[in-house]
Chain A
């Protein structure tokens, strides 16, 4: 992993949760649930093009590191920074990791 790879990966990982946090809620506020689909296309689809289509996020190994990792950690951080209490967050995080592992296992049986 060169310094160029690190800069690209850091930048791509920064941009994804940054835009989600600032714009997703506003889109839903403006357009209702359709705003969620708008966000899915114009935020996630467009960021995917940057991070995985063009390749800002450099993959060092054989296990895929998706930009979703950046969103998971970034949005959790943003929530805490904006004043939300931890509450049941850590427990739900464990459940999400279990769910992701289950999904990954099922996928490994298929592809």
Chain B
């Protein structure tokens, strides 16, 4: 059941983000995109992480992983493998940037906690 919850939770989040978000941005521009973040991520976070539909025991898996995969795979299913191959430079750069950002945040978080305790 824990795996079923993760699969269903990430699939639903991925579908909302990769269709409804663009519809809001298309209709209302930047304001629509910002608002889409509020309603889609707010609701999906509540279901997947606050209630805990996405199983998390150990290193943290965010629903964002499923959302990222959904957006890329949507276009691979639609436009073929070649579209995915052409997107690899962006994918690799984004993953590297994300890893550095997460690493720095965890280090600074630790520093801030130590500073607060002294």
Give A residues with C-beta under 8 Å from B.
1, 6, 9-22, 28, 33, 36-37, 39-41, 44-46, 48-49, 52-53, 57-82, 84-93, 95-108, 110-111
B106 touching A92, Cβ below 8 Å: no
Instruction: Please report the C-alpha to C-alpha distance between residue A60 and residue B110 in the assembled complex, in whole angstroms.
Output: 36
Q: Name A99's closest neighbour in chain B (CB-CB).
A: B10
Interface of B is mostly: helix
Q: How far is the CB of A50 from chain B (nearest CB, A)?
A: 10
Chain B interface size range:
35 or more
Q: Which B residue sits closest to A80, measured CB to CB?
A: B59
Question: Which residues of A sit under 8 angstroms from B78, Cβ to Cβ?
Answer: 108
Known: A37-B38, A96-B63. A49 touches B98 (CB 8 A): no
A75's nearest neighbour on chain B, judged by CB, is: B62
Contact between B61 and A96 (Cβ–Cβ < 8 Å)? Answer: yes
Cα distance A12–B90 when bound, in Å?
A: 12
Closest B residue by C-beta to A58? B90
